[in-house]
Amino acid sequence: GENVEQHPSTLSVQEGDSAVIKCTYSDSASNYFPWYKQELGKRPQLIIDIRSNVGEKKDQRIAVTLNKTAKHFSLHITETQPEDSAVYFCAASPLGRTGTASKLTFGTGTRLQVTL
Amino acid sequence: EAQVTQNPRYLITVTGKKLTVTCSQNMNHEYMSWYRQDPGLGLRQIYYSMNVEVTDKGDVPEGYKVSRKEKRNFPLILESPSPNQTSLYFCASSSRVGGISGANVLTFGAGSRLTVL
């Protein structure tokens, strides 16, 4: 099955700096890569996702890059703010013939702390 | 309001006493899934369902059962709970229709914290 490794497990940055979280996956059949943010005591929520036919995707201060050859993908957060403090999870899944990501495998999470 | 509702939110039980965690969604989603979250291990998939009467094992199905008799409901059953099933459980659902914006985006419930003594 799929194995997703995520690094670092904790990350502390100063407000305004950039943060980068990296993930590697093992199954070459995976082609859908979402990132979820979980604030303390809350449920995970999707912040951005990417499919393997795209190498990079941006949404305001957040970007994700994908290197399918090397089987790794990264989350980039620029101009970090205190409200970015949370646990971030990467995930990977193949998309079935109907486009469903049925078996989403998550990384172990990165706790991001943005300090003032 | 579009949501996934789990109950109970908190439960303390004893080894061997059967329990069910209910999950209901009001978004007409085809896909539903259960995850457990443990410190340092992230979110691990227990079971998932592609549609009514269609269920399949995730990565950690041992000790759990599920059913999908109705589209909106996906209960998680622990027939004989053990202490190693102490965890935070999340139910999630998504539209499975490929090509439509929002497909595969998981909407999570608020979580159910289970302690087995």
> Tell me: the pLDDT tens digits for B32-68?
999 999 999 999 999 999 999 999 999 999 999 999 9
Q: Please return the burial class of B40, using the count of CB atoms within 10 Å of its CB with bins 0-12, 13-18 and 19+.
A: exposed
Residues of A within 8 A of B99 (CB-CB) are 99
Span A34-55, pLDDT tens digits: 999 999 999 999 999 998 888 8
Find the closest chain B residue to A98 by CA distance.
Answer: B98
Span B81-111, pLDDT tens digits: 999 999 999 999 998 655 444 678 899 999 9
* C-beta atoms of B104 and A99 within 8 A: yes
Q: Please return the burial class of B51, using the count of CB atoms within 10 Å of its CB with bins 0-12, 13-18 and 19+.
A: middle
- 3-class DSSP state for residue A38? strand
Query: Which amino acid is present at A5?
Result: E
- Closest alpha carbon to A7 in A62, A83, A89: A89
* C-beta atoms of A104 and B106 within 8 A: yes
Predicted pLDDT of residue A112: 98
**Mutation target vs B (from A25, A43, A111; most B CBs, 10 A cutoff):** A43
CA distance linking residue A32 with residue A101, whole number of Å: 7
* C-beta atoms of A49 and B105 within 8 A: yes
Per the prediction, chain A carries an average pLDDT of 94
Predicted pLDDT of residue B97: 59
Of A95-99, A111-115, B72-76, the one with minimum mean pLDDT is A95-99
